[in-house]
Structure 1
């Protein structure tokens, strides 16, 4: 037991050391620009919401141009919960953002290693983990796009795969329980880290279940394995229902459809096949045709090793003692599928499936292509003796770092302070403008507050906000006559108004909460509460937690 524990600690330390060139820019003083340059602000807002006792966090009060909006009702929250916990230790927002990125990077290496160690051994696992870590698109996600959610979702893909693998490789009830547990944690982590990759992870799981079902029927084999496989999907949806159910059923109250129009229409962002082999490195964005300012290359070293693995498979696929051949076949097929989905040739599929428009960028499938590609590469190691594996492992790790480390750097370093992200002016201005699709459709952004103030002034309504917390407001109102008061706060289902101790109805005006007020002095209280959908979703999540704990800890009689 002590030796095993020492080995695990050593493996974690070794992977952390080998991750140095990926982490290095995070250790440099200062910060760097990225496409989604709001991460310190979002982490700060999450921390403030937690400090106020909000959980699960849905509403932030400073973004949305100072009017607040339901950011984490729609935007996957897991990385920001992690970041908020770091921030609440007393670190500043920029350091916290860098640490949160670093945690996601290390997590991808560790989870990939522990998955691959199970299926291919310690040596091959170390190689696969490094190739997964140093893939060029991983650098794009971190230092070009600043896609914190995708970084974490990419990290959880191996955990989902580990759960599935354990179901098929260990014929004991204990390992079936572990398979359900790991698989559920992996898929749940993906869903809570990034809506789109979580959805795609679920689709890949359903596709895999369908193929296994067909295979078992054709071979007339026992279908009992279908139960724990299905439970991974069911438990994941239950655990994460507090997030995805409101996101699905309340999106009509927002301007979220704007993300699939204009420059984010998927038809403009298919990848050309040669771009997967070689495309110029850059820090701009994705654009129609070949005008892209960012790279979509898979990695030449990755592809060369995959071709060698394919050649070996075609030569030796009839070898009975090579069980990894099935893993290679499945991973190669899924690599081809996920790569195909990035190409213009797959457009008919995108048009057939309406919700695919929310993926926005077909090249997001690169996250899955890289995972399946690394699995394919490890077929090389099945032909080698242990000393040969170690030699090849060292060479592949060294060349991976030599070839790819140069991509893991930002466009530049800038001298930023927390005020650039979390000052009142920047939260309500620049940070709000970067991502405002979850505001109501009728929300007036430009001069909105001036319009509201003008309306209230015409009615001679004077209002003073005495308490302004994210989900609780107290407002003193003085009006010479009855009229309509328009508050400075965003309208969204769940806001309740109590006027002079009595609950009163609210409506939406200019995207803000408004209500009728009597003449004279009044005390208005606004509370953000759970809608029926949120209450049901929260209850399902709690029930899912109890079910998963029961399956994980007690002797559930899974049929084998």
Structure 2
């Protein structure tokens, strides 16, 4: 059997073992208990023709929220694919969780195997799976989107080095595709990881003899990748002023309250399922990992001892990832607070210990390159010992605090649990029109505020609502249980011209005054100019990918 394939199978087996608790019957507890709800909202969007999904009608107490206009797209589109194949919402969520674990190891292996031998690359993949922070992400925090993005990160790095080596159109398209998935997966991880990706690419360009051609190839592929993710990126960048974002960086989410101590990073190996709190008394673990910590210590020693024998590319890579590993650790410490206050966008990271995701990646690379510097016999011995140590030390973390064996889709998508999910994350992407927190779930039907009127045949979908409003005398004012947000437009009696509407001062509901008679009212969630441009760029980028794939292959251009 091909050695690479054997290594990938081995990493899949490791992933199955650490994911075993995920696939037990029912579901489980986690901090971010909205994964099933988010997938439900995504699938509802797609079923009702809202593509791409932006407006989530059941969120914000049932008044609606532009969740997927800003929040991670890739993991939930992935989950929607599995739901379309007939799996339940719960099981589809579990599949995406498993993918985020398995893909991390396999992507790391593919990346490392481009410049070191298979065995050290395999250990690097195992180290990227069996790291405490990954267990924290899935089994404690339930940070599915963040973990998914961290799994895609080495895939982007793999795409970069593959394109530089092969210089073929398949590699060009793969890097664009991987980049697009990554950019649309998790905003914070993109922010944290971009300096590493850029530095890695620059170093490889400088090490390459054909620097200009390499720069053109990488730039073109990256631009195409950004184009593929434009449907998501442009609204995030240019429509942030349409929602209340102050909550995301203040109070509990102020980064100043969430720095990690050296003891938490390197000494304290206790595990917990509580919250991140101000000071050192957090109820969860920020451990770098014993093996991962030793790898970072071994990096400078390896560079010094093998400064002549180590191949040029691995040496530069070892140095690069060692430096970024130290930098990511520094940024988790309160000693970096002046840097956090200087670089304003970092405030959206919220938790400085999120940089441990980057530390996990860097330590896995450093560990693998360290192994590759040893002779073959030592490689085999150390590889066995390290994989055993990774399992022995970290496997115990990959379990949930509580499980609910009898839970089904109905448990989460009906009744009180569903209503609780509707109320959760209310402040995350709250439209400016919604000023106060509702006391109750939105009414199922429109409410006549004044006048003699009756609302019949009310329908509410993810991006559309309609009703017949019968006013028997004078005028009647009706409020619809949908929060106003650009670009909800209302049309009366099938008119092609939208009618102006009022906005409720508390919950931001769409409110209309009707004259005597029966009026057909229809509301459509339409795209703003930014979204139209973003969708067009993504569509054009998809066409370009198709053209590149089907275009005749010119061997002369790849030499």
TM-score by length of 2: 0.91
In structure 1, the gaps of 5 or more residues are none
Counterpart Cα distance in 2 of 1:494 and 1:387: 65
Q: Which residue of 2 aligns with 1:243?
A: 232
Aligned with residue 66 of structure 1, among 57, 62, 66 = 62
Instruction: Work out whether residues 134 and 400 of structure 1, in 8 Å CA contact, stay in contact via their aligned partners in 2.
Output: yes
Shift, 1:82, TM fit: 1.4
Deviations 1:175-215 (A, max 9, x none): xx4554343333322222111112333343344556778x6
1:264 aligns with 2:253: yes
1:532 aligns with 2:529: yes
Shift, 1:457, TM fit: 3.7
Q: Which residue of 1 aligns with 2:519?
A: 522
Counterpart Cα distance in 2 of 1:474 and 1:230: 47
Name the SS of the counterpart of 2:278 in structure 1.
Answer: coil
Counterpart Cα distance in 1 of 2:301 and 2:438: 60
Name the SS of the counterpart of 2:279 in structure 1.
Answer: coil
Aligned with residue 420 of structure 1, among 408, 411, 424 = 411
Alignment RMSD (CA, Å): 2.8
Q: Which residue of 2 aligns with 1:45?
A: 41
Instruction: Work out whether residues 486 and 514 of structure 1, in 8 Å CA contact, stay in contact via their aligned partners in 2.
Output: yes
Instruction: Work out whether residues 83 and 89 of structure 2, in 8 Å CA contact, stay in contact via their aligned partners in 1.
Output: yes
Deviations 1:137-196 (A, max 9, x none): 00000000000101110111111111222355x2x532xx45543433333222221111
Q: Which residue of 1 aligns with 2:186?
A: 194
Distance 1:488 1:265, change over 3 A: same
Superposition map of 1:101-120 within 5 A: 101-120=97-116
Distance 1:400 1:308, change over 3 A: same
Q: Which residue of 2 aligns with 1:126?
A: 122
1:151 aligns with 2:144: no
Deviations 1:283-339 (A, max 9, x none): 112111112111111101211233234322212213365642121111111112222
Q: Which residue of 1 aligns with 2:321?
A: 331
Distance 1:431 1:447, change over 3 A: closer
Aligned with residue 287 of structure 1, among 277, 280, 284 = 277
Name the SS of the counterpart of 1:459 in structure 2.
Answer: strand
Name the SS of the counterpart of 1:156 in structure 2.
Answer: helix
Shift, 1:498, TM fit: 1.0
1:318 aligns with 2:308: yes
Q: Which residue of 2 aligns with 1:366?
A: 356
Shift, 1:446, TM fit: 2.4
Counterpart Cα distance in 2 of 1:227 and 1:150: 30
Name the SS of the counterpart of 2:503 in structure 1.
Answer: strand
Instruction: Work out whether residues 225 and 559 of structure 1, in 8 Å CA contact, stay in contact via their aligned partners in 2.
Output: no
Q: Which residue of 1 aligns with 2:339?
A: 349
The number of residues matched between the two structures is 549
Q: Which residue of 1 aligns with 2:501?
A: 506
Q: Which residue of 2 aligns with 1:204?
A: 196
Distance 1:440 1:452, change over 3 A: farther
Name the SS of the counterpart of 1:476 in structure 2.
Answer: strand
Counterpart Cα distance in 2 of 1:321 and 1:237: 33
Counterpart Cα distance in 2 of 1:39 and 1:205: 28
With 8-17 and 545-554 compared, the bigger mean Cα shift is at 545-554
